[in-house]
Structure 1
Amino acid sequence: MARGKIQIKRIENQTNRQVTYSKRRNGLFKKAQELTVLCDARVSIIMISSTQKLHEYISPTITTKQVFDLYQKAVGVDLWSTHYERMQEHLKKLKEFNANLRKEIRQRMGECLNDLGYDQVVNLIEDINTSLSLIRERKYKVIGNQIDTGKKKLRNVQEIHKNLMLEFDARQEDPHYGLVENNDGDYLGFGPHIIALRLTQQPPNHCHPPGLHRGGAASDITTFALLE
């Protein structure tokens, strides 16, 4: 079955376009290799895809620079000199721009003012005043942020101090403040200094510690310090 003729136009589908590029690139490189072997030709092919990927074929007996040198000799042009001249012109402009910037910096620092006229001095003063205004605005903004941060920290400290004072007053009024009694007669605490108090009734015939009246209920108090 004969293959249909492909219309030569841009392939809109990106995937199909990349596949076609890869196949035809390999075919072109294969033909260039055959031409190099069969005809002893010096071939150089440089290809850049739509995705900015570089592909190159160069005959084994030559380099890319040698190909460009042969091209310049055959055509009668000097590609390197033209490119060098453009680079030198660009470098000259960059040096002039750098020198002007350095001179402007020195003038802002109060140097190299003898060559300035009246209008230039006035413009320089305006530029300096504008720069100072921006610097002051930034300074006041930083100071304001630091003050706001300090106020927030102070409010947090005052709130903590207020809570501690309220807890201290509550402890003075109620000895069992912060303790929860369970079914076994134990007091389980959650304060910052006491984690548990266990109160147990002693038998009537138990030896009473000093300070307790005979017949009264004794308490075995166990205290555990809360780890920080």
Structure 2
Amino acid sequence: MARGKIQIKRIENTTKKANELTVLCDAKVSIIMFSSTGKLHKIEQSTKQFFDQYQMTLGVDIWNSHYENMQENLKKLKEVNRNLRKEFRMGDCLNELGMEDLRLLEEGMDKAAKVVRERKVRLIICSSFCFT
């Protein structure tokens, strides 16, 4: 069987690019393209699995540095959160509040205390009926 020459031309339909490359090259293809105008064209053939196979073939871990950066960022955010909670518990942040803010805060605390009391009463009533 003789091979025929094929004409190489630009693939105009962006959704067909990956499929045609897959067929022509007999390969798995995942494409992320940016046009000259900056428009993103992404044709995925299960991209995560594609990159997992890529890193296994090369014997490298392309996700590790990204994971480490996220862990470091999480550690910093937890420290900021811990400091903010400590500051709030000590009441230092109340020094900057005006009269109206303090009134609204007190009102919110009263509502929260009321909810706590109602929940406590419901539990007491429930426990007295459950054990009799």
Question: TM-score if structure 2 supplies the norm length?
Answer: 0.52
For 1:27 and 1:79, locate their aligned partners in 2 and report how far apart those are by CA, in whole Å: 31
Which deviates more, 88-97 or 70-79? 70-79
Determine which of 71, 75, 85 is the counterpart of 1:88.
71
1:42 aligns with 2:28: yes
Give the distance between the partners of 1:38 and 1:51, measured in 2 at CA. 27
| Corresponding residue of 1:33 | 19
Q: Report the 3-state secondary structure (helix = DSSP H, G, I; strand = E; otherwise coil) of the residue aligned with 2:57.
A: helix
Aligned length: 92
CA distance in 2, matches of 1:43, 1:27: 16
Q: Which has the higher contact order (CA 8 A, sep 6+)?
A: 2
- Show structure 1 runs of 5+ residues with no match: 1-23, 110-123, 140-228
RMSD after superposition: 3.4
Closer, same or farther: CA 78–107 of 1 in aligned 2, 3 Å:
same
Which residue does 1:69 correspond to in 2? 52
Distance 1:35 1:48, change over 3 A: closer
Q: Any idea what the Cα deviations from partners look like across 1:131-186, whole Å, max 9, x if unmatched?
A: 25xx14x68xxxxxxxxxxxxxxxxxxxxxxxxxxxxxxxxxxxxxxxxxxxxxxx
CA distance in 2, matches of 1:52, 1:104: 46
CA distance in 1, matches of 2:53, 2:70: 23
Paired with 1:25 and 1:100, the residues of 2 have a C-alpha distance of 56
TM-score w.r.t. structure 1 length? 0.33
Rg: which structure is higher? 1
Q: Secondary structure at the match of 2:63?
A: helix
Q: Residue 30 of structure 2 aligns to which amino acid in structure 1?
A: S
Moved over 3 A (4+): 24-32, 48-54
Map residues 205-220 of structure 1 onto 2, 5 A cutoff. none
Question: Which letter maps to 2:19?
Answer: Q
Q: Which runs of 5+ in 2 are unaligned?
A: 1-9, 102-132
User: Comparing both structures, which one devotes a greater share of its residues to helix?
Assistant: 2
1:99 and 2:85 correspond? no
